């Protein structure tokens, strides 16, 4: 079975996967990368952190895919509440 490596990067650090994971094919590696990225984003949000987060999936030949996301919470934005009954419609 092929071995795939998943490296993470955020705004401050890079974590290189030195051990990898044996998966049956590239499709399984893509799914594993997306799940790992979502899990890392959840952990980042729960820790109250914001910014960019990316993962790259590679094998012995090089990078196979990259995924990235940017996390910005509403707590850092001014939210304006609108009362539907007070809105004037044309």
CB 71, CB 44: distance < 8 Å: yes
Q: What is the pTM of this model?
A: 0.72
How far is residue 22's CA from residue 29's CA, in Å, rounded to a whole number?
9
pLDDT at 69 over 50: yes
pLDDT band for position 6 (cuts 50, 70, 90): very high
pLDDT band for position 90 (cuts 50, 70, 90): very low
pLDDT at 40 over 60: yes
pLDDT at 25 over 60: yes
């Amino acid at each position: 079975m092929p071995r795939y490596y998943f490296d993470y990067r955020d705004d401050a650090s890079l974590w290189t996967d030195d051990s990898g994971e044996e998966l049956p094919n590239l499709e399984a590696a893509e799914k594993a990368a997306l799940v790992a990225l979502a899990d890392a984003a959840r952990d980042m949000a729960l820790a109250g952190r914001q910014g960019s987060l990316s993962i790259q999936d590679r094998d012995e030949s090089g990078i196979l895919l990259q995924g990235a996301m940017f996390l910005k919470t509403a707590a850092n934005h001014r939210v304006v509440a609108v009362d539907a009954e007070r809105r004037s419609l044309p």
